[in-house]
Structure formats: C-alpha cells, structure tokens
Copies of this chain bind each other. A is one copy, B any other.
Amino acid sequence: MLPVVAVHGGAGHIPKERAELSTIGVKEAARTGYAILQKGGSAMDAVVEAVALMENNPRFNAGRGSVLNVKGEVEMDAMVMDGRTLDSGAVSAVRRIANPVHLARLVMEKTKHLCLTAEGASKFARSMGVPEVPEESLITDYAKMRWKKNLNPDANPVECQMGKMGTVGAVAVDKDGNIACATSTGGMLNKMEGRVGDTPCVGCGGYADNNIGAVSPTGHGEAIMKVTLSRLILFHMEQGMCYKISKTPEEASDLALTYMKERVDGLGGVVVVDSKGNYAARFSSKQMSWAAAQQGELHYGLYRGEHFVEPVQENMQ
C-alpha cells in the first residue's frame, strides 16, 4: 500500500471551463509527489513539491492565481506538518512570495516557531534569501475579473461561493511510513485585509501524525476552523483504533464533514491518509478536484461518486 500521495485542488463549485484544467493540475501534482516517493523521497518532500506545483499553476487559488482580498491584493496562507515529530510550519497573510508552502517549510526547519505572519513572514523570507516577486506576477486576469464582479453589491452568490472554496493540499505516506501534509491558499475571495483562514492553523488547515494519518482540507475556512476539521477526522480514526470500531479515512471524513454541515452549516472537502496507506478523497461540496497515486495507479475525480483510474506511468514524460 505504501507509498501513497493524495492531493486536492479545492472544493466548491468549479466553473465548467476550469474543471478540466483543474483535473489536469491535480493529476500532475499527484504524479509529481508519487515520483518523489518512488525514488525514496520523504512524505514531506512529496507533499511540498505537489503543493508547490499547484501554487505555480494559475488555475488554483494558491500562489499564482490566488483570489484577491477586498483591496485587490494577494495575501496567502500555507502550512506543512511532519507526522514524525508533530512539528509544523506556517505563514499567514504573506505577500509577494511565489511559493508560500516553501516558506512554511522554512519556518518549520529554520526557526523555533510554528507560524510567522504578514510583514514578519516577509522579513524572514528575505533573511532566508527567498526572492520577493512582483505582486502582479501572482495576479491572473481571472482573479481580477472575479474580484471586480464580487465588489458589486449585486454579485452572484454562486460566483461568490466559488471564491470561498479554493485551496490546494496534499497528504502522503512514504515507504518508511512517515506521514506529512501541506496546504496552501489565497484564502477567501474579497476577504478583509489581514484575514487568516484555517490553512495556517494547526489542526484546522491540516494535521499529520505518524501514529494515525494526515488530512488536508479545503472549503469554507471559517467552518473548518470552528470544528477543527483536520484534527477531528484524525480523532475519529484514532478512536476507531482504540475501541476496535475501525473508522476508515473515508468513514471518518464523512462523519466529520456531515458534522461540519449540520453544526456550522459549512461545506468542504478533504484528502486523508492513514498510517497503513489507505487514502480517501471526500467532500460535501458539489465538486472537489482530487487525485491520488498508489501501487502504480493514478486515481482521480471531480464530482461526487466519480473515481477514474489509469496507470501512473501512462502520461508521464
């Protein structure tokens, strides 16, 4: 069953013209992560590089392609977590960085802290030699169009909802059984300046523990925070282990997503792995672009119930 990697490219209502590109993007990301794992790379390397690829892909709401805040600016959140040590690194409301997930990893590896925010995160980036990129390089025409549309008081709520739902993330277990997660996002469309969502919040925007598994979520960030979605799913899996009432990643995810919907009226989705290498991609939203690679096969889907399989190698260059 090992190694395995599963990624998502955001949950919500994905416009038709972007759906195919989103699927291509998550498949590429899963392949990238899997190639690292097959070469004996760590789960941490796999999730970080899979997420960085999606940050670089303008189709996703993370890195280049991030949604804009109410002022038309890009402020990004990212986190990584290492299931061996429970060590974690995050940045919140960071600007002018191409790959927030790399910066989050540097926070974990090079500081005694777990999270740096805003200007402090930028100063740390400079001290690490991470180049500052022009803000315009992160902003796509599509992001600008949606920002303008949503400034309109008569904005279409479906359009609005889409903006709330993007985030990219990955979970992996490497051949040594080490587990990691990574999540990155531009946040919520037309968010207030300085708004921090679930992503950099340990237990909300991700969690990884070698003893249990890992989760990377996407969806309505505020709802995810209220129920600490990532840790909640792992609690369910853990509880299953303790009381011999086995809760698979799939069952645990569905239980937690249903709870999030009922208790705080929030929609979202997750990719999950357990320590044995079982994975799940589940969502309560209309769609979530996801892909997973395991035992030479690439699995992917977009709508609920969709599950396509093809050889990982097939389209590799």
Contact = CB atoms under 8 A, between A and B. Distances in A.
Give the oligomeric copy count: 2
B117 A86 contact: no
A250 interface: no
A137 B263 CA distance: 42
A88 B120 contact: no
Interface in A173-196: 188, 191-196
A120 B193 contact: yes
Nearest to A245: B243
Interface in A73-118: 75, 85-88, 90, 92-93, 111-118
A64 interface: no
Interface residues of A, number: 48
A47 interface: no
Interface in A187-223: 188, 191-197, 200-204, 207, 221-222
Nearest to A123: B193
Contacts of A88: 225-226
Nearest to A69: B120
Contacts of A203: 201-204, 225, 228, 231
A273 interface: no
Contact of A194 (B85, B112, B120, B194): B120
A26 B195 CA distance: 32
B116 A192 contact: yes
Interface in A253-267: 263-264
A228 B243 contact: no
A213 to B, nearest CB: 15
Contact of A228 (B200, B222, B228): B228
A195 B192 CA distance: 21
A42 B120 CA distance: 37
Contacts of A191: 113
Contacts of A113: 188, 191-192, 195-197, 222
Contacts of A228: 202-203, 207, 228, 231
Interface of A: 75, 85-88, 90, 92-93, 111-121, 123-124, 188, 191-197, 200-204, 207, 221-222, 225-228, 231-232, 235, 239, 243, 263-264
Given A114-B225, A115-B201, 5 more contacts: A93-B118, A111-B192, A202-B225, A207-B228, A243-B243
